[in-house]
Amino acid sequence: MASLKLFLKSSVGRKFLVAVTGLGLSGFVLTHMAGNLLMFVRPEAYNTYGHKLTSTPLIYLAEAGLLAMFLIHMGLALKLALENRTARAMGPSQNPSTCEKSARFGSQYMALTGVLVLVFVILHLISFKYGTYYAVTYNGVEMRDLHRLVIEKFKLPLYTGWYLVSMLVLFVHLAHGFSASFQSLGLFSVRNCLIKKLGWAFAFLVAGGFFIQPIYGYFYGGN
Amino acid sequence: MKLKLKIWRQEGPSSPGKFVDYDMDHVSPDMSFLEMLDVLNVGLVKKGETPVEFDHDCREGICGSCALMINGNAHGPETGTATCQLHMRRFKDGDSVIIEPWRAKAFPVIKDLATDRTAFDRIMAAGGFISTNTGNAPEANSILIGHDTAESAMDSAACIGCGACVAACKNSSAMLFVSAKVSHLAQLPQGHPERAKRVRGMVTQMDNEGFGNCSNTGACEAACPKEIKLENITRLNREMVRAVFKD
């Protein structure tokens, strides 16, 4: 028990937790993206999926778990980032990332991209989860017409633009975060070719999936 | 060859530092970087000025003393070499060269370009050794170690503890250094009895010294004069997890 406490207090242990929760959240964005693809099938499929998901009592458990992962991930990452700032004291007059001996691109901006993703998530919840409630009835079952709200939002150029920029930010965050998690867990190095490619592929898949939906909504929405 | 040097000058640990410009003339491309600084210092002494303080010892890339941030690169633009192995032929006539000390809270500046890196010694004292009485050289065949394991442990052991990893890291993290030292002994049977205690002790000391946390950027690996691999950091993380379940 004492060794577990020491582990969780150490920099390595805290990074371990950031990695575990990060991978958990990665799983969430992947399923969220996959669920959203139902909008290409037909509005009914999309709305029924949303209805089924929210009408089970398990949703509260899932939401609580998700919120806990979010809080642990953000809280620890923020604390670690602040410690890093203190440890730096004063940076060199030239940034090493612009020189020959460079670091991975996304890795330099994890805190910034993380905060931007957080801002997106909050506004996203306000727009959709707590947004306008349209009702629709399929086979006698009344449910929320989320499809209508989504299309309505993506008809607004500013909203769509902002959404796309946020997905680019998510891409940068995931491209480093996903593969780096495996290093923090002590499983694979980020230099491992397969893990590196997997990280890019995962980020591309998730961000790409989220990317086509607003574009579809903007150009073809409702038709 | 002419060079414009911009060197960090700082009287002592608590005094504020600043960049001072020096114009160098007749720099031979065959000089090493440290020889170029020697020539600068001879000139400064002749003029009655205080020479620039910098660390150096073996000048052949094995002691880990030299530690200069050159144009934003730890140990200069060359990969896999220490500052002492950098030659002036890497620069062009008229180049500006910014020379700074390692920048990290855990490495306070002693004077000018010389930093106090005893934090690394304290990390080593917290577990970077094996507690056996070695006595005479033992019979080589009594403990068999596979070739690949021996090579991998030797690659980790190649770390010279110069601190370039800390200097290159945006978080001033010492993970590459600590991981190399932990990896070296974790891979060999002689290191196994104290495996868990070692990694716990060294990581705790590293955190206490005020180094930052690893964010897996890979800047350390790129800057390392001994080309210590990031795989060592993965192994250190694994060793820390393993230590939770051992003694």
Identify the CATH number of the domain in which residue B81 sits: 3.10.20.30
pLDDT at A96 over 60: no
- Please answer yes or no on whether A92 and B221 come within 8 Å at the CB atom: no
In A, which residues are within 8 Å of B170 by CB distance? Answer: 84, 88, 91, 96-97, 103, 108
d(CA B65, CA B54): 9
Question: Looking at the structure, do residues B54 and B162 belong to the same domain, yes or no?
Answer: no
Report the percentage of chain A scoring pLDDT > 90: 58
H-helix or E-strand spanning residue A199: helix A193-220
What value does the mean pLDDT take over residues A60-85?
A: 94
**Secondary structure class of B2 (helix, strand, coil):** coil
Is the model's pLDDT at A97 over the cut of 60?
Answer: no
d(CA B176, CA B170): 13
> Quick check: is A98 in a domain?
no
Question: Which parts of chain B register pLDDT below 50?
Answer: none
Nearest CA-CA partner of B165 in B123, B124, B97, B104: B104
What CA–CA distance (Å, rounded) separates B194 from A136? Answer: 66
Q: Do the chains contact at A7 and B240, CB–CB below 8 Å? A: yes
Does A89 sit within 8 Å of B217, measured CB to CB? no
Q: Looking at the complex, report in whole angstroms how far the Cα of residue A136 sits from the nearest Cα belonging to chain B.
A: 47
pLDDT at residue A101, rounded to an integer:
62
From A16, which residue of chain B is nearest by alpha-carbon distance? B237
Q: Which chain A residues are Cβ-neighbours of B214 within 8 angstroms?
A: 11-12, 15, 184
**Which residues of A fall within a CB distance of 8 Å from B206?**
11
DSSP code of residue A38: G
Question: Are B237 and A183 inside 8 Å of each other by CB?
Answer: yes
Does residue A50 lie within any of the structural domains? yes
Does A101 map to a domain?
no
8 Å CB contact of B218 and A190: yes
Q: CA neighbours within 13 Å on the CB side: how many for A103?
A: 27
The tokens describing B171, both together, are 């978080």
Give kind and range of the element (H or E) at residue A13. helix A11-36
The residue written with tokens 């530092």 in the block is: B17
Domain presence at residue B27 = yes
Within a domain: A3 = no
Residue type, B157: A
Round the average pLDDT of chain A to a whole number and report it: 89
| Res A102: pLDDT | 61
Q: Which residues of B touch A97 (CB under 8 A)?
A: 170, 219
| Residue B186 and residue B223 in one domain | yes
> Which of A8, A9, A12, A97 to probe by mutation at the B interface, max B CB count within 10 Å?
A12
On whether both B210 and B157 belong to a single domain, the answer is yes
- Find the range with the poorest average confidence among A7-11, A117-121, A139-143, B96-100: A139-143
Interface test mutation site (partner B, options A7, A10, A101, max chain B beta carbons within 10 A): A101
Identify which of A1, A26, A3, A6 has the alpha carbon closest to the alpha carbon of residue A182: A26
Distance from CA of B154 to the nearest CA of A (A): 19
- Structural domain contains residue A88: no
Q: Do B92 and B128 fall into the same domain?
A: no
Q: What is the CATH number of the domain that holds B183?
A: 1.10.1060.10
- Residue A197 inside a domain? The answer is yes
pLDDT of residue A2: 84
Instruction: For Cα atoms A23, A28, A33, give the angle at the middle one, nearest 5 degrees.
Output: 125
> Which tokens belong to B58?
């073996």
The total number of structural domains in chain A stands at: 1
Is some CB atom of chain B closer than 8 A to the CB atom of A1? no
With respect to residue A1, please indicate whether it lies within any of the assigned structural domains.
no
For residue B36, tell me if it sits in a domain. yes
- The answer to whether residue A92 sits within a structural domain is no
Dist CA A162 CA A124 (whole Å) = 11
Are B238 and B169 members of one domain? yes
Classify residue B231: in a domain, yes or no: yes
Contacting residues of B for A13, CB less than 8 Å apart: 240
Report which DSSP code applies to A56.
Answer: S
Tell me how far apart the alpha carbons of residues A205 and A182 are, in angstroms, rounded to a whole number. Answer: 18
Residue pair B19/B97 in contact (Cβ under 8 Å)? The answer is no
Q: Are strands B96-100 and B3-9 parallel, antiparallel or unpaired?
A: parallel
Pairing mode, strands A135-138 and B69-70: unpaired
Task: Classify burial at A216, counting beta carbons within 10 Å of its beta carbon; exposed 0-12, middle 13-18, buried 19 or more.
Answer: middle
CB spacing of A89 vs B104 below 8 angstroms: yes
Of chain A, the percentage scoring pLDDT greater than 70 comes to: 92
Give A 190-219 residues with CB within 8 A of chain B. Answer: 190-191
DSSP annotation of B212: B
**Å between B233 CA and nearest CA of chain A:** 7
* Domain-embedded: residue B225: yes
Q: Which residues face B87 on adjacent strands?
A: B32
Residues B101 and B126 in one domain: no
Chain A environment of B218 (Cβ under 8 Å): 103-104, 107, 190-191
Same domain, B85 and B170: no
Range of the domain at B240: 118-132+145-244
- What single DSSP character describes residue A137? E
pLDDT tens-place string over residues A12-43: 999 999 999 999 999 999 999 999 999 888 88
Q: Give the A window 52-111 contacts with B, CB below 8 Å.
A: 80, 83-84, 86-104, 107-108, 110
Domains of chain B: total: 2
The Cα A217–Cα B4 span in angstroms is: 58
Instruction: For residue B179, give the nearest of B222, B221, B209, B210 by alpha carbon.
Output: B221
| Residue A190 Cα, gap to closest chain B Cα (Å) | 7
| CA terminus-to-terminus distance, chain A | 60
Checking if the pLDDT of A89 tops 90, the result is no
Helices B175-186 and B118-125 cross at an angle (nearest 10°) of 30
User: Residue A15 is nearest to which of B19, B196, B213, comparing CB atoms?
Assistant: B213
* Structure tokens given for A214: 């607003």
Q: Are residues B149 and B208 in the same domain?
A: yes
**What is the span of the domain harbouring residue A163?**
8-80+108-220
Helix spans in A89-192 (H): 110-124, 146-154, 157-184
pLDDT, average across residues A98-121? 80
Same domain, B20 and B63: yes
Q: Which helix H or strand E contains B109, and what residues bound it?
A: strand B109-111
Residues B83 and B102 in one domain: yes
CA pair distance A11, A9, nearest whole angstrom: 7
Q: How many CB atoms lie within 10 A of CB B241?
A: 17
Q: Is residue B139 part of a domain?
A: no
Q: How, if at all, do strands A135-138 and A141-144 pair?
A: antiparallel
Residue B56 located in a structural domain: yes
| Continuous segment of H or E residues that includes residue A214 | helix A193-220
- Indicate if B107 and B212 belong to the same structural domain: no
